[in-house]
Amino acid sequence: KFSEEVVKNGDKVRLFHVPTGKSMYMHGFPAPVTKELAEVSMDAGAGDEFEVKIDRLKIEQTKNPLMKRFKSEVREGKALELHNVVRFIHAKTRCAVMMSPKLLPAWGYSQFEVGCIKPTNTNGTETYPTGTEFTIA
């Protein structure tokens, strides 16, 4: 099962879809709708052919420009703080995981496309923690 730990800036984590137990990994080819992104899937699981591809993501915390009144220090190894922003950076390729504004076709249940963008353009890759639990492995 999953362990519960405090997630800190600089930690390397794996993202899992808790209801199915499947984990996220990045393909080496373009996303189906937004070709500038690398495709990201949530279908790797224990015992299947994708298990070896389960990717680690580095937690990168930065200051939230909208929260200037908080005087917190952002540094490696410090616990995540709700008033800062977080990026999930692929440990090997340094691309940033992001949600595209485009929807997948019907085969993707018309969900928003998620992909990995090159490290030279990380605009729009911020995640704003809201107290939601992170599950790491």
Domains of the chain are 12-117 (2.80.10.50)
Question: Does residue 52 sit in helix, strand or coil?
Answer: helix
Strands 112-117 and 96-103: antiparallel
Eight-class DSSP state of 54: P
Residue 37: CB atoms within 10 Å: 24
Bridge partners, residue 116, by sequence? 38, 97
Q: Name the pTM for this structure.
A: 0.69
The type of residue at 3 is S
CA gap 135, 122 in Å, rounded? 24
Kindly report, residue by residue over 82-125, the tens digit of the pLDDT: 666 788 888 888 888 888 889 999 988 888 888 888 776 656 66
